[in-house]
A = this chain, B = another copy of it.
Amino acid sequence: MAFYYPNGQLFSQKNPREPSYKRETTFANRGMRFEEAINQSNEYYITHDKAVVHKKPTPLQIVKVDYPKRSAAVIREAYFRQPSTTDYNGVYRGYYLDFEAKETKNKTSFPLKNFHQHQITHMEQCLKQEAVCFVLLWFSSLNRCFFLSAEKMITYWQEQETGRKSIPLEIIESVGIEITPQIAPRIPYLTAVEQYLEKRS
């Protein structure tokens, strides 16, 4: 398992007793690189007064805290909790932005198993409030990034009932908005948001 501290530094720990863990570590690290690019883009946007978007902290259930004399409280027992929202939200020119960032090694389609029901439910709730809600999809093997509106994302999610397992790249190319990675901001997703807003209005 690997974590990023909110300062962007990676914390990664492997468990020697649990060899099956290695795969998960790799996966987490892989996802983290894209996440880091998003976090840096958010920082760029805040610094340049373009938007205020933050990643939400991971929710933890705290069970035991120690208060050592003359030093900071130490959490000694806590567990990861299932978030009830997407990872990112914020404000851009009066618009409420809300999104999830996901990554795949696949080259031809984006697997729906990367998403969770709670994220879809949250997106549905946000859309009812006229949010600008979307997912950022990163094809790491292709080095290609796409903006896909929550409206479309929810449609494909629901098609799982009729057997859909993933969203083909051709569909994403045609209904999504491609975002070309840059130096700064690394993932200029506001450009895609602008295009989406133009189409929506």
List chain A positions with a Cβ less than 8 A from chain B: 1, 3, 5-6, 11, 13, 15, 17-18, 21, 46, 49, 51-52, 54, 56-67, 69, 72-81, 83-85, 89-98, 122, 125-126, 128-131
Chain B residues whose CB sits within 8 angstroms of the CB of A67 once the complex forms: 1, 15, 17-18, 21
Chain B residues whose CB sits within 8 angstroms of the CB of A18 once the complex forms: 67, 69
Copies in the complex: 2
A130 CB to nearest chain B CB (Å): 4
A181 CB to nearest chain B CB (Å): 24
Q: Does B3 contact A62, Cβ atoms closer than 8 Å?
A: yes
Complex Cα spacing A11 to B15, Å: 29
Complex Cα spacing A116 to B6, Å: 19
Q: Does A126 contact B52, Cβ atoms closer than 8 Å?
A: yes
Known contacts A3-B62, A89-B89, A122-B52, A129 near B79 by CB under 8 Å: no
A22 CB to nearest chain B CB (Å): 11
A30 CB to nearest chain B CB (Å): 18
A88 CB to nearest chain B CB (Å): 11
Complex Cα spacing A62 to B61, Å: 13
Chain B residues whose CB sits within 8 angstroms of the CB of A63 once the complex forms: 11
Specify which of B56, B72, B122, B125 is in contact with A79 (CB 8 Å cutoff).
Answer: B72
Known contacts A56-B57, A62-B11, A131 near B94 by CB under 8 Å: yes
Complex Cα spacing A193 to B52, Å: 20
Q: Does B79 contact A74, Cβ atoms closer than 8 Å?
A: yes
Specify which of B64, B74, B85, B93 is in contact with A54 (CB 8 Å cutoff).
Answer: B85
Q: Does B62 contact A72, Cβ atoms closer than 8 Å?
A: no
